[in-house]
Homo-oligomer: A and B are copies of this chain.
Amino acid sequence: MSKYWSEITKSVEPYVCGEQPKDKKYVKLNTNESPYGPSPKVLDAIKNAANEDLRLYPDPNCDELSETIAKYYNLDKKQVFIGNGSDEVLAFAFLTFFNQDETIVFPDISYSFYPVYGNLYNIDYRLAKLKDDFSIPVDEFLTENGGVIIPNPNAPTGKQLELDSIKSILDNNPNKVVIIDEAYIDFGGTSAVGLIREYPNLLVVQTLSKSRSLAGIRVGFALGQEELIDGLNRIKNSFNSYTIDRVAAVAAVEAIKDEEYFKECTSRIIKTRGKVTEELGDLGFNVIPSKANFIFAGHPKYPAGELFVKLREKGILVRYFNKDRINNYLRISIGSEEEMEFFIEKVKEIIS
């Protein structure tokens, strides 16, 4: 601890992201990236943007991108907020909607960045314990709270929460914001975007990092009624006016527009997920039914921590959380057809 650090700097517990090793080439199934590159139209747009206009600041409001996203979701441009990855959107949302003296609620097994934001802003939080089958305990979100955040599908379990449950949470928190973090919604889940008209307290957060194959570009967004988006803009414009660069903005526009490519990629991932789920089941794994681009699986006989290490030795990275209740599970991102065949082959070698 340095004497130059503020009290907040001393007290935070920074997020640790999935490893990005440089020592050798791995089959990377650890950070839920897409196995497929971005749309060719995205790459063309980036090349076209490599021109002398880069000397100029970008549009601080990302008008074109907001309009494109609004049109895609049948919303108004004023119902869209753009951020530098959905992590930044979430970081802004915690500060915009949650107060230090009110306790917010999120699942105990969930995206591990939520408690980090809570600590950063000194916002109290209560962990709602997932049921034994890893489903969201809806009742826990119906008591008094300072706001709610739930990933849907949840990570790292991949389990979906039904819209009816989301509605009852929204109904029971009319004065507090309910954030539905839909980072993984495009792999078969049902989005809450359709509820925005009805619920002024609903904020839906999405990202281009997974289903749009653009983790390397950093664009995420929030959708909600105008007063929520206005609030996010107040905080963002008190932090950094220009969060999205000119290249990222045009790349994101093309990624949203190329619906056909998007559907092709997500369909392939869903198909591969089905195949891997079945194959792991045949090998005796307990696989949680997933609506995301990853699966959460554990084997009754082979400890997940050991499998993690052995897979790594064989050139495959997956994610292992050494945490109560989930320490016998691995989170395995769905790679390409070939990568997953290789993965199953190596799993067989290890457990045979």
| Cβ contact within 8 Å between B47 and A216 | no
A191 at the binding interface (Cβ < 8 Å): no
Q: Which of A199-220 contact B (CB under 8 A)?
A: 200-201, 209, 213-218
Residues of the B chain whose Cβ atoms lie less than 8 Å from the Cβ of A5? 96-97, 227, 231, 234
| Cβ contact within 8 Å between B60 and A20 | yes
| Cβ contact within 8 Å between B33 and A215 | no
- Size bracket of the A interface: 35 or more
| Cβ contact within 8 Å between A246 and B216 | yes
Determine, out of A84-92, A126-134, A157-165, A295-303, the stretch whose residues face the partner at the interface: A84-92
Q: Which of B33, B35, B240 contacts A84 (CB 8 A)?
A: B240
Determine, out of A6-14, A277-285, A307-315, the stretch whose residues face the partner at the interface: A6-14
Known contacts A5-B96, A6-B97, A120-B235; is-contact A20 B84 (Cβ 8 Å): no
- Please state the number of chain copies in the assembly: 2
Q: CA A299 – CA B9 in complex, angstroms? A: 47
Determine, out of A50-58, A67-75, A339-347, the stretch whose residues face the partner at the interface: A50-58
Residues of the B chain whose Cβ atoms lie less than 8 Å from the Cβ of A3? 175
Known contacts A95-B8, A209-B57, A240-B84; is-contact A245 B216 (Cβ 8 Å): yes
| Cβ contact within 8 Å between A37 and B50 | no
A196 at the binding interface (Cβ < 8 Å): no
Closest beta carbon of chain B to A339's beta carbon, Å: 13
Closest beta carbon of chain B to A100's beta carbon, Å: 8
What sequence of 0s and 1s flags, for each residue 2-35 of chain A, a beta carbon within 8 Å of any chain B beta carbon?
1111111100111111001000000010010111
Q: Which of A60-117 contact B (CB under 8 A)?
A: 60, 84-85, 87-88, 91, 95-100, 116-117
| Cβ contact within 8 Å between B239 and A91 | yes
Interface SS, A side: loop
| A43 nearest in chain B by CB position | B50
Q: CA A84 – CA B57 in complex, angstroms? A: 13
Q: Which of B2, B28, B200 contacts A228 (CB 8 A)?
A: B2
| Cβ contact within 8 Å between B2 and A227 | yes
| Cβ contact within 8 Å between B200 and A4 | yes
A248 at the binding interface (Cβ < 8 Å): yes
| A200 nearest in chain B by CB position | B4
Q: Which of B14, B36, B55 contacts A213 (CB 8 A)?
A: B55
Residues of the B chain whose Cβ atoms lie less than 8 Å from the Cβ of A193? none
Known contacts A46-B46, A91-B239; is-contact A37 B51 (Cβ 8 Å): yes
Residues of the B chain whose Cβ atoms lie less than 8 Å from the Cβ of A239? 87-88, 91, 117, 120
Query: Which 5 pairs from chain A and chain B are nearest by CB?
Result: A37-B52, A14-B237, A216-B246, A54-B216, A46-B50
| Cβ contacts A to B, 25 pairs, < 8 Å | A4-B227, A5-B234, A12-B238, A14-B238, A16-B237, A17-B242, A20-B57, A36-B55, A37-B51, A38-B54, A42-B54, A43-B50, A43-B54, A47-B47, A53-B216, A54-B216, A54-B251, A57-B215, A58-B218, A85-B240, A85-B243, A88-B243, A119-B238, A216-B246, A245-B247
